[in-house]
Amino acid sequence: MTAILGVFGAGGCGRGILPLVREQNPEARVVFVEDTPRRADCNGAEVLAFDDFAAIPQARIVIAIAEPDVRRGAASRCEAAGLTFYDVRARQMVVMDEVAIGPGALFSPWTTLTSNIRIGAHFHCNLYSYVEHDCVIGDFVTFAPAVRCNGNVTIGDGAYIGSNAVIRQGITIGAGATVGMGAVVVCDVAPGETVVGNPARVLRR
């Protein structure tokens, strides 16, 4: 029986992940999943309504939605519908030693995880991002392209780290925090805070 793999979300994130899913699962039927499809196909893949996809026996899904809170809600719906998650890992991804990754993770090309790292569920690690040694990353965290996360960093659930951000070794970033594009984080970031700039400073509380 041909495996059915869904990519939840046909936006930019989903369209960037679709070729990786196809490469990783060449024999599978790969489809996009949306709440209310506005088109029958996208980038050569069929687009199914969520309820129709959830009714397919043994279908599996990955959530390709960059916004952490939206991704969390989608994951809850998938779990309630009895769907199981799969991971997407580009062949150019590098994983070194003693790395644990939760379900539903997306790793784009040229991403790197070094050693002794713990990552929660539904992590998004975009192009050219890395996670250095002894980091702990929570659930539903998003790394935009080229995030540089140095050693002994702790990142709480639902944090969003913008493109080209640099996180100094030993920093803690709280749950739901946002780190702006190009920010250089040299001090801890409280839960829910948004920081921008070099050095990163609080934009709003």
d(CA 94, CA 69): 28
Residue 54's SS3 state is: helix
pLDDT for 204: 61
The whole model's pTM is what?
0.96
pLDDT for 170: 98
Domains in the chain with CATH codes: 4-86 (3.40.50.20), 89-196 (2.160.10.10)
What is the DSSP secondary-structure string of 109-152? TT-EEEEEEEE-TT-EE-TT-EE-TT-EE-TT-EE-TT-EE-TT
Q: Catalytic amino acids?
A: 133
In a structure prediction context, what are the per-residue pLDDT tens digits for the chain, which is 205 residues long? Answer: 689 999 999 999 999 999 999 999 999 999 999 998 989 999 999 999 999 999 999 999 999 999 999 999 999 999 999 999 999 999 999 999 999 999 999 999 999 999 999 999 999 999 999 999 999 999 999 999 999 999 999 999 999 999 999 999 999 999 999 999 999 999 999 999 999 999 999 986 5
Would you say 78 and 70 are in contact if contact means Cβ atoms under 8 Å apart?
A: no
